Structure 1
Amino acid sequence: MKAVHFGAGNIGRGFVGLLLHEAGYEVVFSDVADALITSLQQADSYTVRTVGATPGEVVVDGFSAINSTQDPQAVTEAIASADVVTTAVGANILKFVAPNIAAGIAARPEGAPRVAVMACENAINATDLLEHEIRANYQGDDLDSKALFANTAVDRIVPVQASDAGIDVTVEDFYEWAVERPPFDGQEPKIPGVTWVDDLGPYIERKLFTVNTGHATAAWHGWAAGHATIADSVADEAVQEKVRAVLKETSALLVAKHGFAPETQQAYAEKCLGRFANPYLPDPVERVGRSPLRKLSRHDRIISPAAELAERGMGTDALVGALAAALAFTPEGDPEVDSLQEILRSQDADQATTTITGLEAGHPLFAAVREKVASRQADL
């Protein structure tokens, strides 16, 4: 069995690639980072170390690596004979890997089993985004007979790695990889660690609105309080209370929208807080809080749940407070931070609110967000 995985970074090696390796797949990593690909090509193995309540180590071997920029034909050939194609590149990069995947699918021999394509990104229905781009690049009318597309929800915290880690990866001991079952028509691949679900939507939103929302909230409020890491931030009672308040709001939405039992969602939120507090994951607040424009966009972790809550007439004060902290999050070296601050300086409050969040003036959340935008503009 063969799996081609796009994105040989820490998530690719320490989560998706690891689980595929443990399932018995020959893993082919594809990436554009030449130094990383060269290191993988020169190595026989790498080690994934888990930290937390159940620490351990797993050696990953039997893999190969391709620079997709330098050798696209090798990527095409790998996909042509693969059983699974996965990605962990970031949702905004999917459009760049789609042409390679389309070419590989087109090269598959007639009659071969369909290759399963799964985008493992921090985005709602990322595989749908990837499929759209693949269809736009596909030559031929046989795509549906050669590939299937399944959305996934992935969850594992991978902190900044030690400077001398090389290609070894340290990850938290918790993970979740949920994959929608229906596209496989009863022929799901055997991947231990995958949770197969009939309806992925609730799992995607539960993860995004709990883990990602809470993580970003801890980063932005923690940075404002002068903390260096997420663990330090949630150890601060004032910051932790803000994170708990946000998770109370998103939990209320998840219970109302998807029917999660309140006690089940509460336990999930508490588990996430415990993960954030893991002292063995020295995750910098600047890393977790980075890319604020993406994270404040209309369908991401803050505005999406807040908008739905507002539409239902439910409370959003904590989420709007997290947005306010993001507007004042100004570490150096993040182009999105610079862009966000330029929007705040150059546009009036109404226009900036729409530019940053995608909210229109008539939306029930707009006024509360506009107030925070105007307040931040007054400080600039």
Structure 2
Amino acid sequence: MSFPRGKILNNNIVIWGAGKIGRGFIGDLFYRAGYQITFIDADKKLTETLGAQGFYTVYNLRSEADQEKKLIDRFSILHFEERIKVQAALNSTQLMAVVVFPPAFEDTAKRIAEHIEERRLRKDAPPLDIILCANIHHPEPGFRKLIDSFLSEEGEKYLRQNVGIAESLIIRMAVEPTDEMKKEDPFVVMTNGYKLLTVDKKALKNNPPDIEGIRLTERIASEEIRKMYTYNMVHAVYAYLGKLKNYTTVMESINDKAVQSAALGALEEVSRALQKEYNFTEQEMNRWNQEVLENMANPILRDTINRVGGDPKRKLQNKDRLIGPAMLCRKNGIMPYYLTIAIACGYMFTNPEDSSSVEIQDYLKTYDIKNAVRRYSDIHYEVDLIQQISEKFIKLKKHGLDWIKKEEPVINAVKNAYERGFSNELNIRGCAQCAIRALGEATGKVEKGLFQAASGLSGGIAIIGDGSCGGYTGGVLYMGSYAGRRLDYLDDGDKIAQYKSYEMSQKLHDRFMETYWSVTCSEIHKQIFGKAYSLRTKAVRNDFEEAGGHLDKCTTVIAMASSWVMELLMEEGFILK
């Protein structure tokens, strides 16, 4: 018997994972829709005691004015070793949700594969849809590959043709219930009550469940990234900056001006990057961000810093909630200033009961922050990002967070210069000229003569590569227009201006050395590409472009140089703060 897409035979759902989100979100959602629920879990004590109790309570606390208590009592629960009963439950459904942490993926995939092998032998078995509820980036390919690894060749074919694995967005948060709630019901779940489960429509084999609370999307990848890079990111900012302030709850962080300023700054940075990368409109992002902030600022939940910031080793990974947004900003020419503050704070997060935190802090006792970032965040050629994190880490260690609000004018000016440097190198090329033009745009002091005179300084001078980086030479020239030795003052040598120019140029030199280990074009190339390019021939120039020379490589060098020059000009008082 064949079943066309859309033929829903029953209102059963199997939820693999009876943890807080499994019970407090997926179970709650489908219970309201009248589904018969079967939970499957690895915790034998949980399955026995919850099964014996026969109910559990969900508190959805959306705000002080919108609170709900819901009793869930229409379900069964099985331990995953009850194979016959588990198989019977899976045979009776077309819909399944997997709500487990990534470390449990392999074992879960193995058990699902066993069911798929049995299911394919049944001629009357309808397609099966699996909603994958995992709070990580793009989990479907890895989970599908795990299932594949346990299947026969025929099972793999059946999986492709008859099993949909749909990613979803989990925005409902489950936090620790009060002692009173737990006394009343040991299986109680307390949540923020977020109502929507967004599901990848394209991945489903059957028509989707037509129930309140299911939102379908055909662009799950970009929405998944948006969720991770906004909700999870802001949550991490509150946790890691709040920890530095010795707070215990997220609400304390939200009410702190310095922390909130950094959180809003980080959200603004990544929002602009998301608009550029995924074509979200400004209006869409404004509405979304407002929702993010409103969901965070829920005083009833009393979410803790240690819970939200826990497992920093995972949360500081390359594509996760902090490094991922910073890399996206960098790719799109937006300086991740506030994001790198949060990342630095993540590397400072301490909780003796969190093994991940303990491991990172132990590593930092022997190695510096740059090595830690390379090791735990898997960043290597993005040396500018490593440098930004390192600078913030050192500054935060010395001064804490209170400087953030005070330095907003400088931060804004530096970020503006960065973006103009990136944009100029992306669009008009010629690194020294791009630095000069960007700084002229940022300061309002346009130097047309300098711009023309800098023509030959590109690509390590005359695009040969063995001379100084154009970002460095262009920056030195532009600073000289403020602090340089003047022809009209040679009678007394104009030494004060001359040595001020030396001093500022040395500081710029030191910033290059700290970041790129050199001011020479070819050596900087080795840091950001892994090899040097002498751009004299068209063939090499083509290779350079294919390697991202004007995407996120030299564009970022000019962005950094422009930001450093702006900072130096403000530091010396040439530009008012």
TM-score by length of 1: 0.93
1:306 counterpart residue number: 326
1:186–1:16 CA distance, 2 compared to 1 (3 A): closer
Structure 2 residue 197 is matched with structure 1 residue 197: no
Unaligned runs of 5+ in 2: 1-10, 400-577
CA distance in 1, matches of 2:68, 2:397: 48
Measured against aligned partners, the alpha-carbon deviations of 1:156-207 in whole angstroms (never above 9, x if no partner) come to 1211122424112121132331111112367222232111111112211121
1:186–1:13 CA distance, 2 compared to 1 (3 A): closer
Measured against aligned partners, the alpha-carbon deviations of 1:260-310 in whole angstroms (never above 9, x if no partner) come to 221331232222222222111011110000000100001100111101211
CA distance in 2, matches of 1:60, 1:208: 29
Aligned mate of 2:264, from 233, 244, 247:
244
Q: CA deviation at 1:376?
A: 8.5
TM-score by length of 2: 0.62
CA distance in 2, matches of 1:304, 1:327: 15
Measured against aligned partners, the alpha-carbon deviations of 1:192-229 in whole angstroms (never above 9, x if no partner) come to 21111111122111211111000011011112112211
CA distance in 2, matches of 1:377, 1:355: 21
Instruction: Indicate the structure with greater helix content.
Output: 2
2:160 counterpart residue number: 144
What one-letter code is carried by the residue in structure 2 that aligns with 1:74? K
1:257 counterpart residue number: 277
CA distance in 1, matches of 2:124, 2:381: 53
Matches within 5 A, 1:215-230: 215-230=235-250
Q: CA deviation at 1:348?
A: 5.0
Q: Is the 8 A contact 2:329 2:336 kept in 1?
A: yes
Deviates more, 1:87-96 or 1:180-189: 180-189
Aligned mate of 1:341, from 358, 361, 364:
361
Unaligned runs of 5+ in 1: none
Structure 2 residue 24 is matched with structure 1 residue 14: yes
Q: Is the 8 A contact 1:118 1:127 kept in 2?
A: no
Q: CA deviation at 1:371?
A: 4.2
1:267–1:115 CA distance, 2 compared to 1 (3 A): same
Specify which structure has the bigger relative contact order, considering alpha-carbon pairs within 8 angstroms and separated by 6 or more residues: 1
1:37 counterpart residue number: 47
Aligned residue for 2:175, secondary structure, equals: coil
CA distance in 2, matches of 1:339, 1:377: 19
CA distance in 2, matches of 1:214, 1:194: 25
CA distance in 1, matches of 2:41, 2:367: 38
CA distance in 2, matches of 1:128, 1:282: 35
CA distance in 2, matches of 1:183, 1:352: 38
Q: CA deviation at 1:351?
A: 3.5
1:362–1:278 CA distance, 2 compared to 1 (3 A): closer
CA distance in 2, matches of 1:209, 1:376: 23
Matches within 5 A, 1:1-380: 1-51=11-61, 52=63, 53-68=65-80, 70-108=81-119, 109-141=122-154, 142-163=158-179, 164=182, 165-184=185-204, 187-347=207-367, 349-362=369-382, 364-372=384-392
Q: CA deviation at 1:244?
A: 0.9
What one-letter code is carried by the residue in structure 2 that aligns with 1:118? I
CA distance in 2, matches of 1:374, 1:278: 33
Q: Is the 8 A contact 1:106 1:140 kept in 2?
A: no
Percent of aligned positions that are identical = 26
Aligned residue for 2:330, secondary structure, equals: helix
Q: Is the 8 A contact 1:232 1:277 kept in 2?
A: no
CA distance in 1, matches of 2:346, 2:287: 27
Number of aligned pairs?
378
CA distance in 1, matches of 2:393, 2:256: 26
CA distance in 1, matches of 2:144, 2:229: 24
